[in-house]
Amino acid sequence: MKEIVKYRHCFVCGDENHHGLQAKFYFDGTRAISRITATEMFEGYRGIYHGGILSAMLDEVMIKAILAEDIYAVTAELTVRFLKPVIVGCELEFTGRVTETKGRMYLTEGEVRDTDGNCYATATAKYIRAKPDLQAKLEESVG
């Protein structure tokens, strides 16, 4: 699996953002994958991981499935379905994949599971391929 490019100050994947998740994303040829541990640093309630962090990770893993193919896009729509709360300390795996392409639009789906295979949330999203001027700006960010 190859690691997918990142912006070093990104809240989700930036290895130089010391307040962020510093998640690493890999591409297996079909899906983007990331593994993190739910820490109390990002609790929503005591002992419960914040749903907004799950949403951010799902958004990132789905767009990384597009970026892994050297396609720069931005989020147009994100829908997350929470199935049950994540308990702090849980090891999580996020996966995302492209399901369809319609012109400049990419449709994706993602999910988050624990090491036992229990699903905590699913997501779908629409991303729009960046036009050349925006793509140039996005390309300057990654490395």
Whether residue 59 is predicted with pLDDT greater than 80 in this model: the reply is yes
pLDDT in tens, 75-103: 999 999 999 999 999 999 999 999 999 99
pLDDT in tens, 7-45: 999 999 999 999 999 999 999 999 999 999 999 999 999
Chain centroid to Cα 63, Å, comes to 6
Once rounded to an integer, what is the mean pLDDT over residues 65-82?
Answer: 97
> Is 124 buried (19+), middle (13-18) or exposed (0-12) by CB count in 10 A?
middle
Domain 2-141 has CATH 3.10.129.10: yes
Q: Count of alpha carbons within 13 Å of 106, Cβ hemisphere only? A: 22
Confidence of residue 142 (pLDDT cuts 50, 70, 90): confident
Spell out the domain ranges in the chain: 2-141
Cα of first residue to Cα of last residue in the chain, in angstroms, is 18
